[in-house]
Structure 1
Amino acid sequence: MQPRHPAPLNALRAFETAARCLSFQAAATQLFVTPAAVSHQVKRLEAYLGVELFRRGHRAVELTPAGEALAASLSDVFAQLDLALNRATAPKAAHLRVSTVESFAAKWLAPRLHRFHRDCPDLKLRIETGNEPTDFFRDGVDVAIRYGPGGYSGVDAELLMDAPVFPVCAPALRSDVQQSLKVPDDLSHHTLLHDESAAGRPGVPDWRAWLDASGTKRVDASRGPVFASIYLAQEAAVAGHGVALGVAPLVEEDLQRGRLVRPFGPSLANAYAFWIVRRHDAQAYPAVEAFCQWLRKEAAEQDAHGANED
């Protein structure tokens, strides 16, 4: 079998863009060329491969089965190529993109970043928030920290911290002599603050689960406002607007600084935890490993502090 000539990279790029857009016009806009140039490159690739990649209609194009298969592979190939080029041309100080949930970014990561910058002054972080599955190649993310049950496929996932749950409130709320907050039954006189993180997630404690575990039957678990995130519910508790269920790693800073207190137990185990998620080859990048090592160190220190308090 005679070897082929080298693959036509410009034609491959034109095809991948056109396949993603399903439009030669849109692909041309992205590539800063004319639609005719895109069409020419696609025809060149079809001739090179000896297969039809698009079915061309009067006003639209549609991928053939061969085109769909090639487009799926090229999408990852070009994403990896772009990432490799970005790393090769990056400035001397490494830049890491970190994706995490809003609550973790605000309540755990941000208060500790001064220590990271002290330990790793040459590493610059860009923190992005979201809880959707991360496409590390396409999104350019180096490390993701997720709140979930684990079992992430196609990536390396490492448990960072467990996330037990317990009630928290502002100190003034606990010390209010007119509406005491000393035992779980006292919650019947206070606003319960809810967040959506427990909704429809088996094993993630909500107020009903906590009240059942505490043995109290006098409190309506459905009372009180519902917030879109743990962070918002916790901020409402800091402001003295009610009692929230705190996720341990996310309330540690506020407990230490006296913005929140634990009025009573118990603490419930949580099926969700915080995970470090990254590509399989991420350990080959020293900057990524340095950041992950720092995360492990901070999590271990938090665990030791919690054990001492207990």
Structure 2
Amino acid sequence: MPSRHPVPLNALRAFEAAARSLSFQAAAAQLFVTPAAVSHQVKRLEAHLGVQLFHRGHRAVELTAEGQALAASLVEWFAQLDLALDRAVAPTVAHLRVSTVESFAAKWLAPRLHRFHRDCPELKLRIETGDEPSDFVRDGIDVAIRYGAGGYAGVEAERLLDAPVFAVCAPTVSPPLAAAEDLRLHTLLHDDSAAGRPGVPDWAAWLRAADAGAVDASRGPVFASIYLALEAAAAGHGVALGVGPLVADDLRRGRLIRPFELSLSNAYAFWIVRRQNAGAHPAADAFCRWLRQEAADS
């Protein structure tokens, strides 16, 4: 078999970025080059391999069967290469990348992290926020914490915390809330955490359970995250629906109070999610043990 010259790394990088986004323009923005440069590198790779990797349309590109096969291999290959480079640069430092939703990071994780750093000072931790499914290979995520119904495919998922839902407000709320019907005199603070999610209580569900159907459940502003709604409640701007783990610290510190005992069960919970068959990872194992202990203590 005739020998083949090594594949140019820049061409592989350009192809992988274009394959992931199905756009030469998006790949160019990611690589800080021009779309023409990406196109040139892809053509160079196609000539080198002797196969067509993309079907090129007027406004879009689509992977060929050969392109799909190569892209699937390159995603993991580049992830492993980046990991090897990170280890070469700092071989004595343990790195851990954790992905979680913004509200959990701000309201539960961040206030407790000092205890993890006390126990594992040698571990370098990076916290990233987002609600989309984690790509453990491409994004290099070691541990994800997600708010969902479970049943995640292709990963290992472990239930961490239940998420009961109940009303919360500032201790200075006025006029006082003696009964659920008194909410008609207050601003209801909404967030998008229940939108389109069966089994996740919203104000309409809570008011029905409280037998306060006369209160208009649609009143009040809607926030993009529960974190913002809870901060508005703590500032005295209305009454929000709190999710148990996210308000525990504020209740303990007195920033928020529960004006009513009624609590609704939630089809969603907080889950530890890890890559399936990831192999030994002492840093991730230590972090997950710490999460379980914190959850048990709280």
Mapped to 1, the partners of 2:182 and 2:197 lie a distance apart of 27
**2:280 is aligned with 1:276:** no
RMSD: 3.1
Partner residue in 1 for 2:148: 148
Q: What is the DSSP-based 3-state SS (H/G/I as helix, E as strand, rest coil) of the residue aligned with 1:172? A: coil
Query: Do the aligned residues in 2 keep the contact of 1:16 with 1:75 (CA within 8 Å)?
Result: no
| Equivalent residue pairs, number | 289
The Cα shift of 1:281 comes to 3.5
Please list every run of 5 or more consecutive structure 2 residues that lacks an aligned counterpart in the other structure: none
The equivalences for 1:1-310 within 5 A come to 10-11=7-8, 14-15=11-12, 17-18=14-15, 20-21=17-18, 26=28, 29=33, 39-46=43-50, 51-53=51-53, 63-173=63-173, 176=174, 179-282=175-278, 284-302=280-298
Q: Which residue type is aligned with residue 139 of structure 1?
A: D
Deviations 1:194-241 (A, max 9, x none): 111111111000011011111223211111111111101100110111
Residue 16 of structure 2 contacts residue 75 of structure 2 at CA under 8 Å; is this kept in 1? Answer: no
Q: CA deviation at 1:58?
A: 11
The AA in structure 1 aligned to 2:177 is: L
Alpha-carbon distance in 2 for matches of 1:37, 1:266: 62
Q: Give the SS at the match of 1:201.
A: coil
- Report % sequence identity: 66
Give, in angstroms, the shift of residue 140 of structure 1.
1.8
Report the structure, 1 or 2, having the larger helix content.
1
Query: How big is each residue's C-alpha offset from its partner over 1:47-83, in whole Å with a ceiling of 9 and x where there is no partner?
Result: xxxx544568999986432223222332233223323
What code does the residue aligned with 2:119 have?
Answer: D
Q: Is the 8 A contact 1:282 1:288 kept in 2?
A: no
TM-score (norm 2): 0.85
1:224 counterpart letter in structure 2:
G
- Residue 253 of structure 1, CA deviation: 0.2
The two structures have a TM-score, normalised by structure 1, of: 0.82
Distance in structure 2 (CA, Å) of the matches to 1:44 and 1:155 = 36
- Cα offset for 1:89? 3.9
User: 5+ unaligned residues in a row in structure 1: which ranges?
Assistant: 303-310
Cα distance in structure 2, aligned partners of 1:58 and 1:198 = 41
CA drift at 1:129? 1.2
Contact 1:11 1:45 in 2 (8 A): no
